[in-house]
Amino acid sequence: MERHTELLDRACRRTYPPHLRSYLAIVLPATFTIIPLVIGIAWGAYLDDGAYLSFRHARDLSLGRETLRNLTTRTPLYVLVLSLLSEKNIPLPDAGLILSAAGWSVTVAAIYSAGRAIHRRVAAVVSMALLSFNPIIVQFLGTETSWVTASIWLAIAATRKKRWGIQTGLLVLMLCIHFGLNTIAMALFMLILQGVHRRTFPILPGLILAATIIGLGTFAFQAEISLYPELGLAEWQREVRSLTSESEFYWLFLPFVGLGMLAAQPVGLWLGAMGGLGLILTISPTSIAIIVTLALFLTGLGIEQIAEWSAQHNLLRLDRLKSAASLAIIGMLPLTVAQATSMYQRHQLRSIAQQRVEQQAAAWLCTNSRPTATVFGSDRIGYLADRPTRQWDGGAGTPQDSMTMVENLATDPPDYCISLNSIPWDRLIRTSWFQDHYERLLEFSSAYDSTSP
């Protein structure tokens, strides 16, 4: 396979002048790297509710309400950076938006670097292009997920280049950005991979990672932070159904991913193990991002495999470079349609109306409640109102889940309950416990109708 890549490079040198190749080698990656940042800015600060938990910790840290010793978050480094930006009077939603979008730009560059490191230039360009406008960019805007993913792919590139010190540093960085069971497992997996390459156990990197895990774990234990991610096949099934409902073309990723696994041997062994590890262990933003970027990389490998086979048999009667470029464009076309369709639909469904209603509710809380009043509602409302919050996104699954939620609320009732109209909310307000302890104070509405974004 490396011989085919070498022949492809020779054909490129014969067909195109050196200055043109150098120009494309710089401009193409730079263009795709900038796209996620442009998408993030154009999207606006319509962020997922989970991002506001980090914003709240960052604000409390900058105001002195929390210290690094008692910081109750699994994203210490990300929160620390946000707190520094908050001290500069930069609005945290805007700061989180730019910071996370920049992280996806770094991830695009990292996945390209990983492809180049294993001498798969076509795969590097294809995976970079697909990731640059993938819906996952807007799905996790405002969170640390992009930087965790970038750290992993940079560590993969460093592993292939046998730069063990850089790899170890990136794994420590990953753990500091997000400390959880999934990132711990990923760090240990990459450490084992380093040992396989070096044919001896890496003692010093192992000690560094162990010290990092023990140190962060001690802080997490003292702050009573749960490191266990959410498990369950049903959540993964919902993610897949959500994607395929946006576009049936997503099913076309599967044959390319399969070809990529076959083409990646023996690299495919550790790529597949990494993906399987993330898939089995967790359902979280981090694991979803790992699986998606891995699938895109394997898609690039699959398209390169087809291009090399076609060029080897001279099916298109073109030189190897033109053949590879033509097949890459053809293969990417339906995948591009799928991703563009998702991006358009998600742009139309941004939570504009919801955020405006929650801003009204938060403004009312700021005026009519004491600063220590507890709120049962979204993290966004808690952040905007600057009130202690028991997070609830308006859903509780089955009726049994609703009853469990009521039992938990009964042990420590919040002062205020705020929610959008939903079936779980309707179940909650109909319970005798809720009717005995709460009364309806106010309803907020938006100028948008049901067909508006």
Cα–Cα distance, 327 to 48 (Å, whole number): 37
Give the pLDDT of residue 39: 94
pTM of the model: 0.86
Final residue belonging to a domain, choices 313, 348, 383: 348
Is 330 contained in some domain? yes
Segment among 106-110, 168-172, 258-262, 360-364 with least mean pLDDT:
258-262
Is 451 contained in some domain? no
Supply the range of the domain harboring residue 123: 2-348
When pLDDT is cut at 50, 70 and 90, the band that residue 13 belongs to is: very low
- DSSP lists the bridge partners of residue 390 as 376
Same domain? 367 vs 423:
yes
Same domain? 110 vs 172:
yes
pLDDT in tens, 122-158: 889 899 999 998 999 999 999 999 999 999 999 999 9
CA distances from 94 to 19, 40, 91, 202 (A): 40, 10, 6, 41
Is the CB of residue 28 less than 8 Å from the CB of residue 125? yes
Q: Give Cβ neighbours of residue 208 (< 8 Å, ≥ 6 apart).
A: 168, 172
Same domain? 363 vs 281:
no
Is 156 contained in some domain? yes
Q: What is the mean pLDDT of residues 247-254?
A: 86
Which residue in the block uniquely carries the two structure tokens 């293969």? 331
Give the pLDDT of residue 14: 47
Q: What is the mean pLDDT of residues 326-351?
A: 84
Is 453 contained in some domain? no
Domain count, the chain: 2
**pLDDT: is 308 or 194 the higher one?**
194
Cα–Cα distance, 233 to 267 (Å, whole number): 27
Is 94 contained in some domain? yes
Same domain? 282 vs 267:
yes
Same domain? 327 vs 399:
no
Is 415 contained in some domain? yes
Is 384 contained in some domain? yes
Give the pLDDT of residue 405: 77
Cα–Cα distance, 112 to 102 (Å, whole number): 16
Query: Is residue 15 predicted with pLDDT exceeding 80?
Result: no
Same domain? 321 vs 429:
no
Q: What is the mean pLDDT of residues 417-442?
A: 83
Q: Give Cβ neighbours of residue 320 (< 8 Å, ≥ 6 apart).
A: 7, 8, 11, 12, 311
Is 184 contained in some domain? yes
Please, what is the average pLDDT of the chain?
82
Cα–Cα distance, 20 to 5 (Å, whole number): 19
Q: How many CB atoms lie within 10 A of CB 336?
A: 15
Same domain? 360 vs 343:
no
Cα–Cα distance, 436 to 433 (Å, whole number): 5
Give the pLDDT of residue 399: 67
Same domain? 308 vs 370:
no
Same domain? 304 vs 279:
yes
Give the pLDDT of residue 121: 86
pLDDT in tens, 27-82: 788 899 999 999 999 998 889 888 998 999 999 898 888 777 767 778 889 999 99
Same domain? 339 vs 420:
no
